[in-house]
A and B are shown apart, each in its own frame.
Chain A
Amino acid sequence: MITWIKGGQVIDTRSGKKRALDIVVRKGKIERLLPPGNFNPSGDIDSKIIDASGMIVTPGLIDMHVHFREPGEEYKETIATGCQAAAAGGFTAVACMPNTIPINDSRSVTDFILERARRANLIRVYPVAAISTGLRSESLTEFGDLKQAGAVAVSDDGRPVTSSELMRRAIEYARFFDLPVISHCEDLDLSNKGVMHEGTISTRLGLQGIPAASEEIMVAREILLAKLTGYPVHIAHVSTEGSVTFIKQAKEEGIPVTAETAPHYFSLDHTAVIDFDSNAKMYPPLREPKDVEAIKRGLSQGVIDVIASDHAPHSPLEKDVEFDKAAFGIIGLETALPLTLALVKEGVMDLPAAIAKLSFNPASILSIRGGIIEEGKEADLTVIDPNKEYVLDKDSFRSKSHNSPFVGWKMKGKAMITMVGGRIVWESDELNPSSR
């Protein structure tokens, strides 16, 4: 059997070009890429045709920063529901952070996550293992054993590695195993139990502020450690103008650093907190308009390589409480694509560049497959209707949790089909029946 995706605009993330191409998928692989009208499926009686005219076809999207709450907090998200949310958002692969209960700091937890992902049987799940045992910044986890079990990177995400010495050794030790190191940049002392960005709004609301410097100090530290060790560090969820400036300068000096941001840092600023909305509470916090502009500049200039959702599901138990007691984090898998496409419309990036930040770049940083459409490669593909307009409905989430500040927003652009290894794992019921 073959699947013939015809009439779409295919994004080539490597050349940055968009071309009208038909894609023929057979046995899980991209068999042929050819100009429209040149394919004749005769002989393949058992073929499925997807009419992608008016749509764009991209490499399967990859989200290198999600929190699936299994093991431990399955009431917020399981690996299965997380995979459903990812598929519905157009993602064919995710990297899940280790701050589960128990923490993914040993082979048995990594094994468990991969087993659950295998059973969910939807998208590719790549575990990120902890840098330090128990995320305590005291001693290194068994990087080698974790890598053999299937971990693709190490990070203490959710917490910074507070010891600079330990972080230095983590970067050096990870080098032996070719494991990327992902840093959650935060000076916990300077954050001082803050709950939102420190600025005019925190002053107005009487909420403890987290200064931009709390993030920037650690970004500067990680850059200096990357320079010291000569081995790359990936900076997670960049949110401030100062961080962008530091990373830009580091890249210009040839220091091996890569960076990601999340859609909320280019879509919202700290004024979203004004009504004490706990769905506007996350770490790092929503910053100021000047920071939002800097993030956009960073994306447009290639300073920021990756857009990742930092999908962080929480239930009403953690969110429908006093703002300072509410958990940090929002879900993002089902909103990352339209929010990124809004930047394309705004002219911040062209479409291929935006898609590269959602596929090719994270694949390169993590050294995982995908991110590119080529004959012979796995057929991980996303078919996107860039013109599909809708109002984001709380009940539409495939995620088990609904903690999103974007509910009620007018969105444009939607994944209509998500294909992993040639198999369709998500098909929007709004897809025109003739396309099916």
Chain B
Amino acid sequence: MYRFNHKDLLGMDQLSVSDINMILDTADAFIEISSRDIKKVPTLRGKSIINFFYEPSTRTKASFEMAAKRLSADTLGLSATDSSIVKGETLIDTARNLQAMNPDIIILRHPSSGAPHLLARYVDAGVINAGDGMHEHPTQALLDLFTIRKKKGRIKGLKVVIIGDIAHSRVARSDIIGLRKMGAEVTVSGPPTMIPVDAESLGVKVVFDPAKALRNKDVIMMLRIQLERQSGILFPSLREYSIFFGLNKELMKGAKKDVIIMHPGPINRGVEITGDLADGPFSVILDQVSNGVAIRMALLYLLIGGVRGDNLD
């Protein structure tokens, strides 16, 4: 019999197709809770969850916190500025100290690729990677898969294009791995300075020009242009970027009529996507956010050791 058998969620690469289906199915069961008047079930009562964010985050941090609270877990939020990190403590020492308080799950957002892997080696608590450097952001990929499945009824066989700074995006990496595992075709697009070397080794097609890349696609995923990276080396100006690589109405003329537009947020309106498209009928951007809570509830539940189907009320 299938069992979800993981202590940590460090990346999409560790999940099997059955694992992913199990997480999505569990999220399906959880999504209703968020629409109730009393949005809380006692499933994780008495469990402690630490939200440890070394980087600023609104969406992901709030989403994890909301998910944990709706399952009645106790949550503790830590950020790099109010922790001993500013006093020079190493990640491993911090990990050992947190472990000494015996939490059930530590959720880590960290600017260094591989930091959650390091943490997981030193704590007994389950570790969830909430975004590590340019490496992975697995819960984002799961909520994207969940959103696609809900909107399109399936993932297998769909054609997906991801447009933007693929090279520096942990969201892109996790989405690519997840989508490929679930049988979707993936194309990446953007200026050559933002496409990683040997991108094809990830199992994707590369089409630099978004106008060509988005033709016949079922899903368009836009990535955020990180303003802090805008050093003038990867591209000359936001103005030029938006002209050649931003998603706008003109470009959408070449897209399928039933295409959905996704974006992990936060959006730079008028840079990678125009405001009207972000708010328009193709956009499922806010569905992604709602689904994110359900996905994270499902994951907390599965990692802490639940079996799908029991004790949901």
Q: Mark A residues whose CB is within 8 Å of B.
A: 198-200, 202-209, 211, 275-276, 317, 320-325
Contacts and interface: CB of A to CB of B under 8 A. Distances in A.
A199 B113 contact: no
A387 to B, nearest CB: 36
Interface residues of B, number: 24
A324 B113 contact: yes
Contacts of B117: 275-276
Contacts of A325: 112
B199 interface: yes
Given A203-B167, A203-B199, 6 more contacts: A199-B197, A203-B197, A205-B135, A211-B197, A275-B117, A323-B113
Given A200-B201, A206-B133, A320 B113 contact: no
Contact of A322 (B112, B196, B202): B112
Interface string B93-128: 000000000000000001011110110000000000
10 closest Cβ pairs, A-B complex: A276-B114, A206-B134, A322-B112, A206-B135, A200-B201, A203-B196, A206-B113, A200-B198, A323-B114, A324-B112
A396 to B, nearest CB: 23
Q: Main SS of chain B's interface residues? A: mixed
B136 interface: yes
Contacts of A209: 197
B181 to A, nearest CB: 14
Given A206-B133, A206-B173, A207-B134, A322 B201 contact: no
B118 A276 contact: yes
Nearest to B199: A203
B197 A320 contact: no
Interface of B: 90-92, 110, 112-115, 117-118, 132-136, 167, 170, 173, 196-199, 201-202
Given A323-B112, A323-B114, A203 B90 contact: no
B90 A320 contact: yes
A279 to B, nearest CB: 13
29 contacts: A198-B197, A199-B198, A203-B196, A203-B197, A203-B198, A203-B199, A203-B201, A204-B173, A204-B202, A205-B114, A205-B135, A206-B133, A206-B135, A206-B170, A206-B173, A207-B113, A207-B134, A211-B197, A275-B117, A276-B118, A317-B90, A320-B90, A320-B92, A321-B91, A322-B114, A322-B118, A323-B118, A324-B114, A324-B133
Contacts of A200: 197-198, 201
Contacts of A321: 90-92, 118
Nearest to A322: B112
Contacts of A206: 113, 132-136, 170, 173
A206 B117 CA distance: 13
A436 B308 CA distance: 69
Of A198, A317, A322, A323, chain B has the most CB atoms within 10 Å of the CB of: A322
Nearest to B233: A192
A205 B199 contact: no
Contacts of B114: 205, 207, 276, 322-324
A198 B110 CA distance: 22
A37 B134 CA distance: 67
B170 A322 contact: no
A407 to B, nearest CB: 16
A124 to B, nearest CB: 38
Nearest to B169: A206
A209 B195 CA distance: 13
A198 B90 CA distance: 27
Of A203, A206, A211, A317, chain B has the most CB atoms within 10 Å of the CB of: A206
Of B110, B173, B198, B201, chain A has the most CB atoms within 10 Å of the CB of: B198
Nearest to A273: B114
Contact of B135 (A207, A211, A317): A207
A388 B24 CA distance: 55
A205 B113 contact: yes
Contacts of A276: 113-114, 117-118
Nearest to B136: A206
Contacts of A205: 113-114, 135
A325 B91 CA distance: 11
